[in-house]
Amino acid sequence: MRMPLIAGNWKMNGTLALIERFGQAFAETGLAPSVEVALMPPAPYLAAAQDALGATPVMLGAQTLNPEPSGAHTGEVSGAMLAEFGVRYVLVGHSERRSLYHEDDVAVLARVRAAHGAGLTPVLCLGETLAERESGHSEAVVLSQLEAVFDSLDYDARGCVVIAYEPVWAIGTGRTATPAQAQAMHAAIRTRLGDYDVDLAARLRLLYGGSMKADNAAELLAQPDIDGGLVGGASLKVDDFLAICQSAG
Ligand SMILES: O=C(CO)COP(=O)(O)O
């Protein structure tokens, strides 16, 4: 009942030429109707991506947004601007934003609200560091990141969120969480969501991210509480990304 979602987060990578290649590849190959795919290129490429992917089922996503609707925020992009380019999903709380740009739980909540205000679906990223995992605090850290947002949302807003579990130690390291490790955390997140609402817990999609590749995606996606992937490095290679999308469909 939960349609898998594969989202490709290009981070600060890619070129216009790569956008064109993705457009061609997805137009030629198509996608199973049983999977949703979103590409999240850097903001300057959104217009080109909207053109290149317009004839394909691939949706557009963005990597961040400012919590304010407009104003004196040099360098920032608002949710309304993203929406004008057909963006459907926007990452919020990615660990790189949390660590490199000091976005704390309060900032993450503000961005979730801004996404909703602009009609976008936030993809709320959660994840523990290696030190937190090794000291046995993974679940407490991840659930507290979840609660920092969900405690403050109403029923309708909670229903309009995608969650991505991305253990920081697995991002860009080639060290993927094992399917069992990922499933255990996803199950813990879903159980906690059930405290808010049982129906919500059954409905919300939980993506896994962290060194997801063409050769490990199928096993991860086969776990009962993993409803898709948030793919970094492998989303920059068209064949690899297509293969991951196909293993979800
Ligand atoms: O951070 C990620 C996606 O948001 C994961 O990146 P990698 O797939 O490169 O590990």
DSSP 8-state symbol, 174: S
Q: Using a 6 Å cutoff on CB, does residue 83 contact ligand 1?
A: no
Calculate mean pLDDT across residues 5-29.
97
State whether the beta carbon of 231 lies less than 6 angstroms from ligand 1.
yes
pLDDT of residue 249: 82
Pocket of ligand 1 contains residue 166 by CB under 6 Å:
yes
Q: CB-based burial of residue 192 (10 Å sphere; 0-12 exposed, 13-18 middle, 19+ buried)?
A: middle
Which residue among 89, 171, 175, 220 has the greatest number of ligand 1 atoms within 8 angstroms of its CB, and so is best to mutate? 171
Give the atom of ligand 1 at the shortest distance from the alpha carbon of 209. Answer: 5
State which ligand 1 atom lies nearest to the alpha carbon of 172: 10
Fold of 5-248: TIM Barrel (3.20.20)
**Residue 196: pLDDT above 90?**
yes
Q: What is the mean pLDDT of the chain?
A: 97
pLDDT for the residue 1: 83
Residue minimizing CA distance to atom 7 of ligand 1? 232
d(CA 21, CA 56): 13
Confidence of residue 158 (pLDDT cuts 50, 70, 90): very high
Average pLDDT over residues 129-139: 97
| Residue 131: band (very low, low, confident or very high) from pLDDT cuts 50, 70, 90 | very high
Judge contact between 248 and 35, C-beta under 8 A.
yes
Query: Catalytic positions, please?
Result: 94, 166
Q: Is 173 left (phi over 0), alpha (psi -120 to 50) or beta?
A: alpha
pLDDT of residue 30: 83
Domain boundaries, the chain: 5-248
- Over residues 98-112, mean pLDDT: 98
Residues 66-92 pLDDT 10s: 999 999 999 999 999 999 999 999 999
Q: Where does the pLDDT of residue 160 fall: very low under 50, low under 70, confident under 90, or very high at 90 and above?
A: very high
Question: Quick check: pTM over 0.90?
Answer: yes
